[in-house]
Amino acid sequence: MRALSSELRALAAAQAGLVTRRQLVQGGLTGRQVDRLGAPGGRGQRVLPRVYALTSGPLTRRQQLVAALLYCGPSAQLGGPTALEVRGFRYGPTDQRVHVLLPMGVQVRPVGFVVVRRTWEPPAPHSVDGLPVAPVPRAAVDACRSLASVHEATAVLAEAVQRRLCTVAMLDSEVSRGPSAGSAVVRRAVQRLASGAASAPEAALLALVATSPLLASPRVNERLLLAGGYVVPDLCWPEARLVVEVDSVEHHGLGRDPEHTARRRAALTAAGWTVLSVSPERVRTDPRGVLHDIETAYLHGLQRTAG
């Protein structure tokens, strides 16, 4: 390690402790010295073809991201699930690999933890924590192409819209521009958003109730007139006098506090409505149980209103 110049060490520090073979050679090391650096027992390690870490321990997530970009070259940008990950998405698909978006002509093969996706029309990347990252509409749509569940894809896209990182129209345009492979689920998810869901959990709940053979289509975020005013529930079925809401301060985070929530639910109950609350966590982890509860409340509501 003493052979490394101060300039090369500074470069490595700026790259999360990583350098390419070309950078090492340009910094004064011979090819043999580079090979020794990355050999077992050396003072560094070869983490990807032509990419070396100056430490021998496990890579951090940041190092994995930087290593993938160094390996793929200057035209690379983080894409798909990885682009959502670095933006802190809660509902993005979990993938420990690093997804990289490249122009079609760049000859780089997938290897190790690097997943390569090529495109004829690479978008202009955004800088996130100093890393080139695909824009949200492109990243979200690409991430959802691998999902088999409209329920999951709707939650991902809704989070992008709720956080004001893009619009439903931008997502729709991205799907239309992209390849047809894997687009069916994404198109259906965009249609769910266009129906009016205002948050990721809300959209996930809407996608879930759409799978029921018993439930009619709910009204979504529509005003219900009550004595002395109105409320805007997440989902409601007037024919069953049933309201279903996502019980989450975080995702109703632009102002609905617990006291306000209690008052509005009391007003609904006094007006003869049944209010069923579900948490975002339960929608994710127990969708069948949530759907059963809603269907049961719906049938009871129909019987009550019929009587």
d(CA 154, CA 162): 12
Residue 64 falls inside a structural domain: no
Residue 199 falls inside a structural domain: no
Residue 184 falls inside a structural domain: yes
> Which of 220, 229, 231, 222 shows the shortest CA–CA distance to 262?
231
Region 11-27: mean pLDDT is 95
Q: Kindly state whether residues 105 and 127 are assigned to the same domain.
A: yes
d(CA 140, CA 135): 9
Q: Kindly state whether residues 45 and 134 are assigned to the same domain.
A: no
Q: Kindly state whether residues 18 and 131 are assigned to the same domain.
A: no
Q: Kindly state whether residues 228 and 298 are assigned to the same domain.
A: yes
Residue 113 falls inside a structural domain: yes
CATH value at residue 274: 3.40.960
Q: Kindly state whether residues 188 and 82 are assigned to the same domain.
A: yes
Q: Kindly state whether residues 39 and 102 are assigned to the same domain.
A: no
**Which stretches of 33-180 are assigned E, i.e. beta strand?**
45-48, 51-53, 77-78, 98-103, 114-119, 126-128, 131-133
Region 49-76: mean pLDDT is 96
Max mean pLDDT range (17-21, 38-42, 276-280):
17-21
Final residue of a structural domain among 138, 161, 194: 194
Q: Kindly state whether residues 106 and 46 are assigned to the same domain.
A: no
Lowest mean pLDDT among 51-60, 77-86, 244-253: 244-253
Q: Kindly state whether residues 124 and 238 are assigned to the same domain.
A: no
> Domain limits at 126?
72-194
Statement: residue 251 has pLDDT above 50:
no
Burial of 238 (0-12, 13-18, 19+ CB in 10 A): middle
Residue 102 falls inside a structural domain: yes
Lowest mean pLDDT among 126-140, 263-277, 290-304: 263-277
pLDDT band at residue 210 using 50, 70 and 90 as cut-offs: confident
Statement: residue 23 has pLDDT above 70:
yes
The whole-number pLDDT of residue 258 equals: 65
Q: Kindly state whether residues 186 and 254 are assigned to the same domain.
A: no
Residue 32 Cα to chain centre, angstroms: 43
The predicted-structure confidence for 92-101, as pLDDT tens digits, reads as follows 888 999 999 9
Statement: residue 259 has pLDDT above 80:
no
Q: Kindly state whether residues 188 and 229 are assigned to the same domain.
A: no
Residue 65 falls inside a structural domain: no
d(CA 249, CA 177): 36
Region 245-265: mean pLDDT is 63
The model's pTM is 0.72
Structural domain total, the chain: 3
Final residue of a structural domain among 138, 159, 194: 194
Q: Kindly state whether residues 42 and 76 are assigned to the same domain.
A: no
Region 105-125: mean pLDDT is 95
Q: Kindly state whether residues 157 and 94 are assigned to the same domain.
A: yes
Percent of the chain with pLDDT over 70: 93
Average pLDDT of the residues of the chain: 89
The whole-number pLDDT of residue 47 equals: 96
Region 26-50: mean pLDDT is 90
Residue 203 falls inside a structural domain: no
Residue 67 falls inside a structural domain: no
Count CB-CB contacts under 10 A for residue 194. 12
Statement: residue 62 has pLDDT above 70:
yes
